[in-house]
Structure 1
Amino acid sequence: MTTYVALLRAVNVGGTGKLPMTELRSVCAAAGFTNVRTYIASGNVVFDSTLAKRAVQQALESRLEAYAGKAVGVLIRTGKEIAAVLQANPFSNEAANRTVAIFLDDAPPADTLEHITGRRNEQVALGKHEIYVHYGDGMAKTKLRIPAAKNGTARNINTIAKLAQWAAQS
C-alpha cells in the first residue's frame, strides 16, 4: 500500500472548475482508494492505494473527466515525494505563504529560467519535478510568467507541509 497526494489543476480557483471536496472524496473512493482525506477546497487529496503511481493518475483523471465533463489535470506524488519537495525548498528562510512549488509531470526544461518574463523581485529555482517561486511582494500583483509551468499546478509551502504531514501519518 502506498500513500499518494493528488494535486488537481484549476479546481475551485477564480470561479472555474467547481468541485466540492465531498465529491472529490467520493470519486477517490469509487476508484478504490482508501483513507481518503481532502485538504482545503482547492483540489488536494491524500489517500492510499495498491496501484502504481501512473495507474493512480489515470484512474483519477478518467473518473474526474466523467464527473466534470471535461479533462481535469492531476499531478501525483507519493508521500515520500511530497516530503522531499518540502525538504528541497530553496527558499525555506522566506515566508511560506509567499513561496510556492509549481508541480510538473516531468523535470522542468533546462532553459526554464531563460524564458521567464515579468520578473520583478521574485526568486525562482528549479527542483526535480517542480519550479519553486518566492514572491517577495506576494502573488496578487505579480507579472511573473513561467511558460514551463503552464501545465503545472502551484501550492504554497504551508499547504505542502500539511499534505506531507498527513501523508506521513498514513
Structure 2
Amino acid sequence: MTQGTTTAEGCAALLRGINVGGNKKVPMAGLRPLIEGLGLTDVRTYLQSGNVAFTAPDGGDEEALAAAIGTAIEGEFGFTVDVLVRRHTYLKAVMADCPFPAAELEAKQLHVTYFSQAVTAERFAAVDPAAYAPEDFRIGDRALYLYAPQGLGVSKLGAQLSRPALNKGLIATSRNWNTVTKLVELTAPR
C-alpha cells in the first residue's frame, strides 16, 4: 500500500511513561522502524513522549495492536511499556466532546487522560472537584478531561486523579490539548 492511497483508518499508539526523567528511553528514530516491522504503514512519531501515528492496512484490533507494539518494544528495548491504541474516529470524538472551552484555553491548561476501558463517575466519587476549584474535571468516553489553569505540573486535582487507587486495573496516559489535536491531525485520512 503506498502513501496517499491508504483506505484504512489511521490510528495512534499512546505509550505510557517513556522518556521521562531518563527512564524507559525509547528513541523515536528507533521506534518508527520497529512499528513498521509489525506491518504498519505511514508511521510518524510526535514529540518524545510516546505518540505514534500509523495505519493498520487490515484495520486491526486496538487491543491486539497495542499488545503487539508493547511486545515489540519490550523485545527491542528490554522493558515493558503500557500502550493504548485509538483510532482517528475516537480521537476526533474525544476532541469534539470536550466539555471545557478549548478554543479559549491555553494547551497547558487542558489535558485528556485516555483509559484502557470505560470509567464511571463512581470511580472518582471520592474526589470533590469543589475542593480544587478553579480546577475541574469531567468524565468522557474512556477519557477524563482535566482543566488545570496553572498547568498539570502544579495541579493538585491532577495529582489526586492520578493516584494508583483511582486508576487500579486501568492503563491511563495523559496528553495536553496540543497533543490531543495533533493526534487527530496525524491520524486523519490522507
The TM-score normalised by the length of structure 1 is: 0.91
1:8 equivalent in alignment to 2:15: yes
In the alignment of these two chains, the number of paired residues is 170
Partner of 2:150: 137
1:105 equivalent among 96, 116, 135: 116
Greater gyration radius: 2
Give secondary structure in 2 for the equivalent of 1:46: strand
Give secondary structure in 2 for the equivalent of 1:111: helix
Contact 1:102 1:149 survives alignment (8 Å): no
Contact 1:5 1:44 survives alignment (8 Å): yes
1:32 equivalent in alignment to 2:39: yes
- Matched ranges for 1:64-83 at <5 A: 64-83=73-92
The TM-score normalised by the length of structure 2 is: 0.82
Whole-Å Cα distance in 2 between the matches of residues 120 and 63 of structure 1? Answer: 42
Give secondary structure in 2 for the equivalent of 1:36: strand
Contact 2:114 2:174 survives alignment (8 Å): yes
Partner of 2:137: 124
Partner of 1:21: 28
Whole-Å Cα distance in 1 between the matches of residues 167 and 28 of structure 2? Answer: 25
Contact 2:9 2:187 survives alignment (8 Å): no
Using the aligned pairs only, state the percent identity: 32
Contact 1:108 1:129 survives alignment (8 Å): yes
1:157 equivalent in alignment to 2:166: no
Whole-Å Cα distance in 2 between the matches of residues 89 and 126 of structure 1? Answer: 10
Whole-Å Cα distance in 2 between the matches of residues 108 and 19 of structure 1? Answer: 29
What is the one-letter code of the residue matched to 1:165?
Answer: E
Gaps of 5+ in 2: 1-7
Contact 1:102 1:152 survives alignment (8 Å): yes
Question: Which segment is superposed worse, 70-79 or 133-142?
Answer: 133-142
What is the one-letter code of the residue matched to 2:48?
Answer: A
Deviation at 1:14, TM superposition (A): 2.5
Deviation at 1:96, TM superposition (A): 2.5
Gaps of 5+ in 1: none
1:90 equivalent among 81, 96, 99: 99
Give the superposed CA RMSD: 1.8
Question: Structure 1's 66 and 122: CA in aligned 2 closer, same or farther, altered over 3 A?
Answer: same
1:44 equivalent in alignment to 2:51: yes
Whole-Å Cα distance in 2 between the matches of residues 7 and 14 of structure 1? Answer: 18
Question: Structure 1's 69 and 120: CA in aligned 2 closer, same or farther, altered over 3 A?
Answer: farther
Give secondary structure in 2 for the equivalent of 1:85: helix
